[in-house]
Amino acid sequence: MTGADVGVSIAGIRIALHGSDPVLESLKAPRYSDFICSAGDADIRLSIFDEPVDYRESDLPGNSQVFDSGTVWSLYKTQSHMHILLRSPGHGGAPYRMATFDRDLTRGEIVTFRGPGTEFPPEEHDPLEFPLSEVLMVCLLARGRGVMVHACGLDDLGRGLLFPGNSTDGKSTMAGLWKGSARILNDDRIILRESEGAIRMYGTPWHGDMSDVSAEGTGLSSVYFLFHGSSNSVRSVSGAKAISMLLRRSFLPLWSRTGMEYSMDFLHSVAEQVPFHELDFVPDAGIVDFLKCGS
């Protein structure tokens, strides 16, 4: 398979992608620019096939399903491989893409499908598209590397602030209010990892409403769970409640017992090392001063 090689480094996890120039064109998008690196010494190598194949003539995974999202993707495992099968409910529910990996998650390939019910334009091919990127990253992190959190993260002059939240809780709003006052890592997906006994957080390319992203990491100083309020106020939270709140806002490997055990232990470690808070906030610039003043 001829083509080019591009490396992407996310939270220190290096993904090397091999494919034709048209297939890799999407990696020139601004959201990836801070994450491009050498394709050498990668944690996982992916080959991207640019010619669609008819799914009716492909060796699709059979009864080895271990998880079904109920919407757009399913996960399958055999003795030697793992498969992520993508479907588009809006285009008839037929499979339109499949990623196949070895069980060690060091190599893989991504194939685009055509056939009845797919109606998916092959040119719209981001090798790290949603939800493939999310599922692959969760699998990679679950091997003792960390956890991805549904959160806004920013670096306030070396002070790492994490704002976990669900949809509409205000993650993108918070990022926008801090723009110009802090370095925004991401407004929607942040990766937490442990390094030299401390917790660090990293931005990802997969942002929400705000396109500011950064590949650089920073030490995690405080966690603030977001809630809309009539005034700015903060309350400490700890123990089982703190861990439970972060779990509910994390991307977890629900299909893997060992992965879940690791994720639980890791988030417990985060809660032991970093102060957790519930933050009621008013969506104006006052919240920046409120938090900068150490409230």
CA proximity to 47, closest of 88, 13, 93, 98: 98
pLDDT of 3 strictly over 90: no
CA proximity to 110, closest of 128, 90, 134: 128
Mean pLDDT of 22-35: 91
Using one digit for the tens of pLDDT, what is the confidence trace for 186-232? 999 999 999 999 999 999 999 999 999 999 999 999 999 999 999 99
pLDDT of 242 strictly over 70: yes
d(CA 146, CA 95): 30
Boundaries of CATH 3.90.228.20 in the chain? 147-292
Q: What pLDDT shows up at residue 60?
A: 85
Mean pLDDT of 55-61: 86
pLDDT of 38 strictly over 60: yes
In terms of Cβ atoms closer than 10 Å to its own Cβ (0-12, 13-18, 19+), residue 89 is: exposed
DSSP string of 72-91, one letter each residue: SEEEEE-SSEEEEEEE-GGG
SS3 category, 257:
helix
Torsion angle defined by CA atoms of residues 120, 90, 115 and 126, in that order, rounded to the nearest 10 degrees? 30
75-84 long-range contacts, Cβ below 8 Å, gap at least 24? Answer: 75/135, 75/255, 77/103, 79/103, 82/139, 84/132, 84/135, 84/136
Using one digit for the tens of pLDDT, what is the confidence trace for 103-124? 999 999 999 888 887 765 544 5
pTM above 0.85, yes or no: yes
Q: Which residues of the chain form beta strands (DSSP E)?
A: 4-10, 13-19, 36-37, 44-48, 53-54, 65-68, 73-77, 81-87, 95-102, 107-114, 147-156, 159-164, 183-186, 189-195, 198-203, 217-228, 233-237, 250-251, 276-281
Mean pLDDT of 89-109: 89
In terms of Cβ atoms closer than 10 Å to its own Cβ (0-12, 13-18, 19+), residue 114 is: middle
* 147-292 carries CATH number 3.90.228.20: yes
d(CA 1, CA 199): 40
Using one digit for the tens of pLDDT, what is the confidence trace for 246-285? 999 999 999 999 999 999 999 999 999 999 999 999 999 9
Number of H helices, E strands in the chain: 6, 19
